[in-house]
Amino acid sequence: IWILNTVNKLFYQSQAWICMVLIGACAGIFAGLIDIGAEWITTIREGICVQHIWLNKTRCCIQNVDSDNCSEWYEWSQLIMDMDNEYRIYLTWGIYVIVSILLAGYAAWLVKHFARYAAGSGI
């Protein structure tokens, strides 16, 4: 009973530290996910790694020093129409613009719907 009371007392006294450690770990995990996700979304506008969809262009072509000759990375024009002519750049540019507009629209929607909850919070 003495040991149980001591453990209970130590747990009660350290609850604030336990809470701070858990909050710090969650903040670090979310920051890492945001960083990885932002980098992935940046490269998804240009193309996709067919073998591993979760990888960005840098990670997909990590074996190749010359990332222009990566066999696993496909630009959207190569994937959609298998184009290797001079018009490929126009399709790639168009898809880049469309995906960028969709991502900007999604960001605007997020701000519109969640900004009122952040009002006055210092964010």
The yes-or-no verdict on residue 4 having pLDDT over 80 is yes
Higher-confidence position of 30 and 94: 30
pLDDT at 122 over 70: no
pLDDT of 99-112, one tens digit each? 889 989 998 898 88
Question: Is 89 or 5 the better-scoring residue by pLDDT?
Answer: 5
Q: Does residue 33 register a pLDDT over 90?
A: yes
Q: Is the pLDDT of residue 96 over 90?
A: no
Of 49, 61, 41, 51, nearest to 104 by C-alpha is 41
> What local confidence, expressed as pLDDT, does residue 123 receive?
56
Per-position DSSP letters for 13-55, written without gaps between them: HTHHHHHHHHHHHHHHHHHHHHHHHHHHHHHHTTEEESS-TT-
